[in-house]
Structures are given as structure tokens and as C-alpha cells.
Amino acid sequence: MSEAIRIAMWSGPRNISTAMMRSFGARQDCAVSDEPFYGAFLKASGEAHPMAAETIADMDCDWHSVTKTQSGPVPGGKPVWYQKHMPHHMTGPVSISDFPDHRHAFLIRAPERVVASYRAKNELREPEMLGFARLRSYFEAERERSGRTPPVVDSDDILRDPAGVLSKLCEALGIRWDPAMLAWEKGPHPEDGIWGVHWYDKVNASTGFGDPPGPLPELDGVYRDVAEACRSDYEALKAHAIRN
């Protein structure tokens, strides 16, 4: 039997990352996991996120233990394991370099869209909370380690052409394209983190990817400043984005 394929998809918050987890979870050959380092991040940082105490109580909060689990047996014995990771959670003693056998990919979204979505759900104080800089550094570290450019997908491109962009992503990851990735069951899913009741209202109401994106939202004050601070990292990653 061939070795399982473990996919680490790195993205900031509010990047359609849960919809992507739903998409991969719709494949019969794929297990998914939802932000496995979130509990460790909350415990170590003391960030007052919604449902922080409940999340810490529910999760393994040991950085090294979580790392071992994500590199261990695949849930359900599936041949593919899609892992939804947030680089801004990685404030402890482990990083992308601790996953040398994973196939890494990067999901990005225009900073204006991320800021507008995030501020509706949580306090936004600084650019680091959105993870753009670490996402770029992880991309560059993986490109240097592997000697090749890891796949990048932009949320806007996925929403404009889900089948086209996702089929190319699958090709880049070395897995077959499965049209089942375009639809999923409405409502919460068993693999969701318990924080989903606060964060996942839109994706829980969906059965597929949403409408193509409209114009970028207008921001002002500190929100505009945060988006602008993330721009250079976003543009650097966008230059490598898969397009159909």
C-alpha cells in the first residue's frame, strides 16, 4: 500500500479556508483536520478569541504532540489527508519545517476582503493577526527547502472558476481531480473545530463555493492601515498564484 499523502494548506483567517476544507472533505479518499494548532496558540498567547477557553479545553495544546499527530496515521485510513493550518497560530516551537513530508500549499485573499470579514467577527488590532507576513515566509522557506515553487491559490480566483483552479491545484499536489469537491452537505461537519459555531455561519449555510467576488470593500482608519501593511506580502504570493 502506498504512503498516504498529507496536504498542509496554509492560510490566514477569513480566506474561504473552511470552504476549502469542505471541498476536500467531500472527496471519498480524503480526511480533513481543522486548525489543529489553534488550541496551542490560544493557550500560549492568551489571545481573547471568541470561545478561547472552550477551544483550549477541547484540544491537544502541546505543540510537539500536535505535530506528531499531524504526521501520524491518517484518520479513517484514508489515502489523502487535508490539513487546514493557520501560520499566525504558529507562535510556538514548531513551524512548517517540522512537516518535511507534507505537500504544502498556500491560500491567499486580498487584504481588503480579509480585513472586512475579520473585523465583523473579532477585534483586529494589528497586521500580524492576519498572518500575511508569516504566510510569505513559510512559502519562501518551503520553496528553498524543496527546490520548487509550492502551489498558491487566490480565493478570488477559486470563486470565479472553482473547477478550473481546483483541478490545477490537485495536479500541482499530485492527486487526482474529483468533481465532488464542488459541493458538500449544508450545516456543521463532524471535523469542524468547536469554534465553528462562532466563525462558520456562512459556510454552514452553503452547499458549494459562493458567488464570484465583487469590488474590493472600502476601508478607513486603522482597518485601511492594516490592509495596506499586508499588501506587499499578498502581492508577492499572488505573483505565484495558479490561474486557469
pLDDT number for residue 118: 64
pLDDT number for residue 171: 98
- Residues in the chain where the model's pLDDT stays below 50: 1
pTM of the model: 0.94
Question: Per residue in 95-130, pLDDT tens?
Answer: 999 999 999 999 999 999 988 876 765 566 666 767
pLDDT number for residue 129: 67
- Residue that is written with C-alpha cell 478561547 in the block: 52
86: cell is 493557520
pLDDT number for residue 1: 37
pLDDT number for residue 31: 98
pLDDT number for residue 122: 56
DSSP element (H, E) containing 82: strand 80-85
**Euclidean distance between CA atoms 235 and 115, whole angstroms:** 16
Integer CA distances (angstroms), 70 to 31, 158, 215, 221, in order: 11, 26, 38, 40
Nearest CA to 233 among 76, 109, 122?
Answer: 109
pLDDT number for residue 94: 96
DSSP for 176-231 reads: ---GGGG---SS--TTS-TTHHHH-HHHHT-SS--PPP-SPPP--HHHHHHHHHHH
Number of helices (H), then strands (E), belonging to the chain: the values are 11, 5
For 146, the 3-state DSSP assignment is helix
pLDDT number for residue 198: 86
